[in-house]
Structure 1
Amino acid sequence: MNGGIHMVETKYDLRSVIEELKAMPGQYHETDLEIDPEADLSGVYRYIGAGGTVKRPTQEGPAMMFNNVKGFKGSRVLIGALASRQRVGAIMHHDWHTLGQYLNEAVQTPIKPVIVDRKDAPAQEVVHLATDADFDIRKLLAAPTNTPDDAGPYITMGVVRGSSPDNKMHDVTIHRMVLEDADTIGMYIMPGGRHIGAFLKEYESIDKPMPITINIGMDPVIPVAVTFEPPTTPLGYDELDIAGSIRNTPVELVKGVAVNETGIARAEWIIEAEIMPNTSMQEDINTNSGFAMPEFPGYNGTANPAVHVVKIKAVTHRQDNPIVQTTIGPSEEHVSMAGIPTEASIMSLVERAIPGKVKNVYNPPAGGGKLMTIMQIHKDDINDEGIQRQAALLAFSAFKELKTVILVDEDVDIFDMNDVMWTLNTRFQADKDIMVLEGLRNHPLDPSERPEYDPARIRQRGMSSKLVLDGTFPYDMKDQFVRAPFKEMPNWRDYLK
Structure 2
Amino acid sequence: MNPKLSWLFRLRPARRQGSTLPSRENNMFSDGTIDADDVIDLRSALALLEQNPGQLVTTDVPVDPLAELSGVYRYVGASGTVKRPTRVGPAMIFNKIKGYEGSRVLIGLLASRKRVALMLGSTPERLGFLLNDAVQHAIPPIVVDREKAVCQEVVHLASNPDFDIRKLLPAPTNTEEDAGPYFTMGMVYASDPETGESDVTIHRICVQGRDELSIYFVPGRHIDAFRMKAEAAGKPLPITISIGVDPAIEIGACFEPPTTPLGFDELSIAGALRKRPVELVDCLTVPARGIANAEIVIEGEILPNVRVREDQNTNTGKAMPEFPGYTGDSKAALPVIKVKAVTHRRDPIMQTVIGPSEEHVSMAGIPTEASILSMVERAMPGKLLNVYAHTSGGGKYLAILQFKKSAPADEGRQRQAALLAFSAFSELKHVIIVDEDVDLFDTNDVLWAMTTRYQGDVSTVFIPNVRCHPLDPSATPEFSPSITQAGNSCKVIFDCTVPFHLKDHFHRSKFKEVDVKRFLPDFDPAS
- TM above 0.5, one fold? yes
2:372 paired residue among 321, 337, 346: 346
One-letter code aligned to 1:341: P
Indicate the RMSD between aligned Cα atoms, in angstroms.
Answer: 1.2
**171-180 vs 483-492, which moves further:** 483-492
2:463 paired residue among 437, 451, 456: 437
1:462 to 487, 492, 505: 487
1:281 aligned partner: 308
SS in 2 for 1:65: strand
Q: Is the 8 A contact 2:70 2:354 kept in 1?
A: yes
Partner of 2:278: 251
The AA in structure 1 aligned to 2:509 is: A
1:421 aligns with 2:453: no
State whether residues 451 and 459 of structure 1, in contact with CA within 8 Å, keep that contact through their aligned partners in structure 2: yes
C-alpha distance in structure 2 between counterparts of 1:466 and 1:237, whole Å: 28
CA change 1:364–1:493 in 2 (3 A) is: farther
| Aligned residue identity for 1:479 | D
Question: C-alpha displacement at 1:494, in angstroms?
Answer: 5.0
- Structure 2: tracts of 5 or more residues without a match: 1-35, 523-527
2:513 is the counterpart of 1:488? yes
Instruction: Report deviation, 1:74.
Output: 1.1
- Once residues 383 and 365 of structure 1 are traced to their aligned partners in structure 2, the CA distance between those partners, rounded to angstroms, is 33
- Corresponding residue of 2:131: 103
Deviation per CA, 1:75-118, whole angstroms, max 9, x where unpaired?
A: 11000000000110001011110111110000000111111111
CA distance in 1 between counterparts of 2:115 and 2:418 reads: 28
Q: CA deviation at 1:491?
A: 4.7
| Counterpart check, 1:333 vs 2:346 | no
In structure 1, what is the equivalent of residue 41 of structure 2?
Answer: 13
Q: Which position in structure 2 is the counterpart of 1:30?
A: 58
2:227 paired residue number: 200
Q: CA deviation at 1:490?
A: 3.7
Percent of aligned pairs sharing the same letter: 57
Distance 1:487 1:227, change over 3 A: same
- 1:215 maps to 242
Offset from partner CA, 1:419-467 (integer Å, 9 cap, x none): 000011111111211111111111110000111112x211111011111
Preserved contact between residue 71 and residue 174 of structure 2 (Cα < 8 Å): yes
Question: Conserved in 2, the CA contact under 8 Å of 1:335 and 1:363?
Answer: yes
Matched, 1:478 2:503: yes
Q: Distance in 2 between matches of 1:126 and 1:81?
A: 24
Does 1:171 find its partner at 2:199?
Answer: yes
CA distance in 2, matches of 1:489, 1:276: 66
State the distance in 2 between where 1:494 and 1:135 align: 65
Give 3-state SS (helix, strand or coil) of 2:188's partner: strand
Q: Which of 72, 79, 103 is matched with 2:100 structurally?
A: 72
Supply the distance in 2 between the matched residues of 1:76 and 1:117 (Cα, whole angstroms). Answer: 27
- Paired with 2:128 and 2:336, the residues of 1 have a C-alpha distance of 35
Q: CA deviation at 1:496?
A: 3.9
Residues in 1 aligned to 2:385 and 2:202: alpha-carbon distance in whole angstroms: 30
Residues 138-157 of structure 1: pairs in structure 2 closer than 5 A = 138-157=166-185
8 Å contact from structure 1 (residues 9, 249) kept in 2: no
Q: 1:89 aligns with which of 107, 113, 117?
A: 117
Choose which of 384, 397, 412 in structure 1 pairs with 2:410.
384
Q: Describe the SS at the equivalent of 2:174.
A: coil
TM-score by length of 2: 0.91
Aligned twin of 1:355: 381
Q: Is the 8 A contact 2:178 2:320 kept in 1?
A: yes
Conserved 8 A contact 1:439-1:464: yes
In structure 2, distance between residues paired with 1:154 and 1:172: 18
- Paired residues of 2:37 and 2:274 also in contact (CA < 8 A): no
Cα offset, 1:11, TM superposition: 6.1
Aligned-partner Cα distance in 2 for 1:96–1:438? 33
Residue 444 of structure 2 aligns to which amino acid in structure 1?
A: N
Match of 2:265 in 1: 238
Q: 1:135, CA displacement in angstroms?
A: 0.4
2:79 corresponding residue in structure 1: 51
Are 2:324 and 1:297 equivalent residues in the alignment?
yes
Q: Name the SS for the 2:368 alignment partner.
A: helix
Name the aligned partner's letter for residue 198 of structure 1. A
Deviation for aligned residue 1:479 = 1.2
- Aligned match of 1:158: 186
1:127 and 2:161 correspond: no
Q: Per-residue CA shift, 1:315-373, capped at 9, x if unaligned?
A: 00011x20011000000000000000001111111111111111000011110000000
Q: Aligned residue for 2:7?
A: none
Aligned residue for 2:490, secondary structure, equals strand
Whole-Å separation in 2 of the counterparts to 1:496 and 1:330: 39
1:312 maps to 339
1:399 deviates by 1.2
Q: Is the 8 A contact 2:39 2:45 kept in 1?
A: no
Tell me how far 1:269 sits from its aligned partner: 0.2
Unaligned stretches of 5+ in structure 1?
1-7
Corresponding residue for residue 17 of structure 2: none
Cα displacement string for residues 35-87 of structure 1 (whole angstroms, at most 9, x for unaligned residues): 00000000000000000000001100000000001111111100000000011
Q: How many residues align?
A: 487
Which position in structure 1 is the counterpart of 2:9?
none
- CA shift digits 1:460-493 (9 cap, x unpaired): 1101111111110011111111111111124536
Give 1:9 shift: 9.2
Distance apart, 1:34 and its partner CA: 0.3
Query: 2:387·2:399 contact (CA, 8 Å) conserved in 1?
Result: yes
**1:146 touches 1:294 (CA, 8 Å); kept in 2?**
yes
The structure-2 alpha-carbon separation of the partners of 1:354 and 1:181, relative to structure 1 and needing over 3 Å to count, comes to same
TM superposition shift of 1:10: 4.6
Q: Using the alignment, how far apart are the partners of 2:37 and 2:384 within structure 1?
A: 36
